[in-house]
Structure 1
Amino acid sequence: MKEDFLHYIWQHQYFDKTDLQTEEGETITVLRPGHRNSDAGPDFLDARLQIGEVEWNGPVEIHLRASDWLRHQHQTDKKYDQVILHVVYTADKNIERTNGSLIPALALAPRIDLALVHAYVNLVEQESATLLPCAVLLPQVPMITRTMMVERALLERVEQKADAVAALHEQLGADWEATAYHTLAAGFGFKKNTEPLARLAKALPLSVVRRHRHEARQLEALVFGQAGFLAETEATAADEYVQELRREYEFLRHKYQLAAAALPAHEWNFLRLRPANFPTVRLAQLVAVLHARPVLFSPLLTAPDVRTLEHFFSAPVPTYWRGHYQPGRPGKVPALGRSSLHLLVANVAVPLRVAYARYVGQPELIESAVALLEHLPAEHNHLTELYEAVGFTHQSAADSQGLLALSRAYCQSRQCLRCSIGTRILQQNVVVG
């Protein structure tokens, strides 16, 4: 059993309150359990209790064993002197404040119905290999509860991405065009190379990109040079295109003092990637967008539909990169696929719009941004298939994003007590006095 379970029990008062007493025999009446504290300090704040003849207002601390108070070093922290009740599963020790006064304790072990404990154990404490711990119990959960939880997980995922964009916007001096550039660059990393592409955007400022956006060769030289792909190798020794880019880059890196920020080639991930997903190919596709689109933020913000955004991301790739996967290594390269275009919509356009909507205080823009996901086809992978197999709706990218968020934020980490589906299952086993 984890402490979170007792937090859940106390928050919802799922225990027998008949003849409720402290370990010292004083009567307890819970007038208000308080609210969860997400910061440092006691677990619940602003509780209201009557203990004996006295009414108390203050924090409540919760542990599996009373002795955990000492293990967590609360006996030396004056923040905990204000605790009015110590709620525990097992009261194995009397606990005192720093001034020596006894803290009233309530032991819940004999007051929680065993059926609820067993349901919790079956739901949360299964083997880690069980990716969806509630699968066999889902028939107990109405479809509306499942749907609303997936929608909640989706919105949390979108908000998290928007938080990252908002932080970037602040770092860049509240410049939305620069924010769009950095977000676009990271988006072309397609997960495996998101981090190095984000660092490349820092290594190659938008101010430099703007000055050379119209000259394709110079822009290619800047991007591939700062990415570390223009060093002379056996494969590129006789490659005229690479030699030309290297000459351009040598001049430009000195002009703008870029050398110190350049990335080494070994930081890019090629392992287990198909050639069409190589970072060199993605860089060429990013160059194409930067060359073809004089403005980034406004079109990403105002595009009326998915098709317009697909067009924005589908700029013609430099000729060399239609026939090379890496510098000096030829091979026919397919154009950016629709699934990749849709990932760019989901990971670039949507978070940018949500971050901007929050910045200007226009919640209707958030709804329209999320609606873009509803017009994208569903993604299919082993995780979404797992949820589909047990009856979850999966018809659009909004469903896909919601299911992935549900898996990563709740199911894989066994956060069932924070999930509406998990709490609904537990509620079927609640019997309180």
Structure 2
Amino acid sequence: MREDFLHYVWQHQYFDKADLRTAAGEEIQVLKPGHRNADAGPDFLNARLRLGDVEWNGAVEIHLRSSDWARHNHQIDAKYDQVVLHVVGSHDAEVVRTNGSPIPALALQTRLAPELLARYQALVDAPTTAPLPCAPLLKLVPEITKTMMTERALLERVERKADTVLELHQHLGQDWEATAYHALMAAFGFQKNSEPLARLAKAVPLAVLRRHRHDQRQLEALLFGQAGFLAENDETATDAYIQDLRREHDFLRHKYNLGAAAMAVHEWNYLRLRPANFPPVRLGQLVGLLHARPALFDALLTAQSVAALTEFFQAPAPDYWRAHFRPGRPGKVPSLGKASIDLLITNVVVPLRVAYARHVGQPAVVESSVALLSELPAEHNQFTDVYETLGFAHRTAADSQGLLALHKNYCVPRRCLHCAIGSRLVQQPRIIR
């Protein structure tokens, strides 16, 4: 048994309450179990309990054993002085607050229904080779429960991404245009080069970029030069176009004192990338986008459909970068593909719009932004395929994002009791063995 099971039992009051007493024999009446605390401190806050003849309002802390209180050093942490009841699996030690006053304990080990514990153990003890802990039991779960849990996981995933955007927004002095620029730069790395492109955004400040957005050649010189792609080598020694960009970059680098921020070519990743995903290709596409779309944030915020956003991202790269995979290395380069645009909408546009909506208090924009995911095709990978095989709906990117969140945040860490599906199975009157 894990501690999360006791949290679940206490939250839903799934234990025998007949003649409920503390370890010291004092009668207990639970008037309100309290609500889960997501921050530091006791597990449940604002509980109401009657101990003997006295009604208490305070917190409840939960452990497998009473002795865990001292093991976690709660006896010296004033945040736990508000605890009025220590709920444990087994009582093996008396505990006290920082002032030495004792805290009554309630032991639940003998009050748990064996079948409830058995259903829980069947989930958490599922072999690691199982596709999901609940895979053999899913036929007991109504479709509406699976759908609701996937939607909940989707919203949690979008909110977490929006939190990251809001942190970036705060770091950038609450400048939404700069936030859109930095988020878009990082996303154009498509995982393999997200971190280098995020650093390049810092190496070419938006304030500098804004002064030269009207001139595509200067944009190329700034971004490719700061990225380290204009360094002379055997492939570029006779390339007049790269030499011209190098001269322009040298001028701009000195003008804006950008030398210290410049990157080196070895900082970029090429391993196991198709040429169409090479960093210079993506950077060329970014140059075309930044030149053609001078107001990034406004355009991303006001686009009313996936079709409009797709058109936004289809700004052509400069001619040279449509004919070169790397500086000095020619080849026919495809334009930014639909699958890549869909990922940018999923990972940049939706979180950015949700973050802005939360910042200004416009819940309708949150809903319309998340709804964009339902216009995008489903993403297929090794994780989503497992859920689809087990009968989960998987028609749009909204489904994909929900299933990925379900996998990462619930199934892998075995947080079954925090999941509506797992909770439903633990409550089932029978279980498949």
2:257 aligned partner: 257
CA shift, 1:64, in A, is 0.6
2:334 aligned partner: 334
Q: How does 1:28-427 map to 2 (within 5 A)?
A: 28-427=28-427
Relative to 1, partners in 2 of residues 1:406 and 1:313: Cα closer, same or farther, differing over 3 Å? same
1:344-392 CA-partner distances (Å, limit 9, x unpaired): 1222222222222223322222222112111111111111111100111
Give the letter for the 1:278 counterpart: F
SS class of match (2:14): coil
- Contact 1:131 1:411 survives alignment (8 Å): no
- Contact 1:119 1:429 survives alignment (8 Å): no
CA distance in 2, matches of 1:209, 1:391: 49
CA distance in 2, matches of 1:141, 1:98: 46
Among the aligned pairs, what percent are the same residue?
67
Between 1:170-179 and 1:223-232, the stretch displaced more is 170-179
1:180-220 CA-partner distances (Å, limit 9, x unpaired): 22222122111222222122112111122122222222211
CA distance in 1, matches of 2:399, 2:138: 18
CA distance in 2, matches of 1:46, 1:401: 34
2:17 aligned partner: 17
1:93-152 CA-partner distances (Å, limit 9, x unpaired): 222344444322111111112222222222124344444211111111111111111111
CA shift, 1:81, in A, is 3.5
* TM-score with structure 2 setting the length: 0.94
SS class of match (2:247): helix
CA shift, 1:417, in A, is 1.7
* TM-score with structure 1 setting the length: 0.94
CA shift, 1:68, in A, is 0.7
CA distance in 1, matches of 2:81, 2:358: 40
CA distance in 1, matches of 2:134, 2:105: 34
CA distance in 1, matches of 2:101, 2:292: 73
CA shift, 1:295, in A, is 1.9
CA shift, 1:247, in A, is 1.4
CA distance in 2, matches of 1:316, 1:119: 57
CA distance in 2, matches of 1:399, 1:206: 35
CA shift, 1:322, in A, is 1.9
Greater RCO (Cα-Cα under 8 Å, separation 6 or more): 1
Q: Which runs of 5+ in 2 are unaligned?
A: none
CA distance in 2, matches of 1:160, 1:74: 30
Relative to 1, partners in 2 of residues 1:32 and 1:391: Cα closer, same or farther, differing over 3 Å? same
Q: Which runs of 5+ in 1 are unaligned?
A: none
SS class of match (1:316): coil
CA shift, 1:167, in A, is 2.3
Relative to 1, partners in 2 of residues 1:99 and 1:174: Cα closer, same or farther, differing over 3 Å? closer
Between 1:76-85 and 1:330-339, the stretch displaced more is 76-85
CA shift, 1:330, in A, is 2.6
- Contact 1:32 1:48 survives alignment (8 Å): yes
CA distance in 2, matches of 1:97, 1:166: 38
CA RMSD of aligned residues (A): 1.8
CA distance in 2, matches of 1:97, 1:309: 57
1:160-184 CA-partner distances (Å, limit 9, x unpaired): 2222222222332332222222222
CA shift, 1:429, in A, is 4.8
1:301-325 CA-partner distances (Å, limit 9, x unpaired): 2222211211111111222222222
CA distance in 2, matches of 1:383, 1:340: 19
- Contact 1:228 1:265 survives alignment (8 Å): yes
CA distance in 1, matches of 2:104, 2:57: 14
CA distance in 2, matches of 1:366, 1:101: 48
- Contact 1:66 1:94 survives alignment (8 Å): yes
Between 1:88-97 and 1:373-382, the stretch displaced more is 88-97
Relative to 1, partners in 2 of residues 1:208 and 1:131: Cα closer, same or farther, differing over 3 Å? farther
SS class of match (2:103): coil
CA distance in 1, matches of 2:46, 2:82: 11
Give the letter for the 1:136 counterpart: P
Between 1:152-161 and 1:323-332, the stretch displaced more is 323-332
